[in-house]
Amino acid sequence: MAQPELLRYSCQVSLPGFGEAGQQLLQNARVLVVGAGGLGCPAAQYLAAAGVGTLGIADFDTVSIGNLHRQVLFTPEEVGQKKVKVACEKLQKQNPGIKLVPHEVKVTALNVMDLLQHYDMVLDGTDNFDTKYLLNDACVLAGKPLVYGAIYQYEGQVAVWNLLNGNGSRSPNYRDVFVEVDASQVPNCAEGGVIPTLAGMVGCMQANEVIKIITNTGEALAGKLLLLDAQTLQSRIIKVGKVSKVTIEKLPETEEVPTISVAELKQSMAHGHFELLDVRRAEERDVFHIGGAHVPLDQLGQKLPQLQTAKKLVVYCASGKRSGEAVKRIRKHFPELTIYSLEGGMKAWLEQQ
């Protein structure tokens, strides 16, 4: 190891059981961080600082004002810029001795296996169930470990899925714990809120698990699920088991939801090209809305027959999550209807006032 590297990493190299050999393992490692948000930002910062040799960042979103309280890589001057571009530029400056690889893509069933083949493991910094299931299944099929993290309000979760056991079996994965989740019933951070420091704590825990796995130090959270309460700082570990009991043979089928941007909708509304449907709760609509019909998502099933419209339909909610789910349901009932989900929801609308 060259003298500058010895100086840079001296504190971790001097750790018992770590040494130059552990640092070399980090230098040779290739880690993909999916999602440059509340979890991905702190995780990527510490992985870059620790000297992970190749660090890929996958994200397709842009920086918004509402991100800044928890996505600590970004500043107000970067609002509107692509997250992955900003993140990789800053992380490269933080550690010029590693390779940063930007992937400005939305991770889907069409590209996930190609992405994974270039990396040894994946860190899940996403905030929606569809992508979490997709990453999980892809990692199982590709034989790669997945470091999982999730946050909501004051609660966080961390686990390591699909780690190789000594006997050749694999540790439990996401589907062993969360067999099936109704995504429409669980708000994301934009809708349900999150304390910003929790994102930092969970993201750092994820980075810690990655470093432990790469350097063969400590005991990974494989076969376990760590639960953290940010209000009390109490944590507990639930033991899941040593071996996965789930068989995964193919990637999940995901339905792409057509979206429309705030700018496109504002332009079209002036010409009356669209009808609007608000699927938020009544109390949310009372605070602010942009018009149109109002049917909360949990009542949509019984109201579907009444939604016949000759015009194109735009569905909106707080962040775009519930409206995306609504679009899927409406398309099944009215397959010929031209329908879109408002990208970013009311959050994006208000930010672009």
Active-site residue (options: 41, 88, 139, 317): 317
Torsion of CA 134, 135, 137, 143, to 10 degrees: 160
Nearest to 230 by CA among 179, 291, 155: 155
| Active-site residue flag, 139 | no
In eight-state DSSP terms, residue 183 is G
Q: How many CB atoms lie within 10 A of CB 286?
A: 9
Active-site residue (options: 11, 139, 189, 204): 189
| Active-site residue flag, 204 | no
In eight-state DSSP terms, residue 179 is S
Contact 119, 56 (CB under 8 A): yes
Helix locations, the chain, DSSP H: 3-8, 10-13, 19-28, 40-50, 83-94, 112-116, 129-142, 174-177, 189-192, 196-215, 262-269, 282-287, 300-303, 321-333, 345-351
Kindly list the catalytic residues. 189, 317
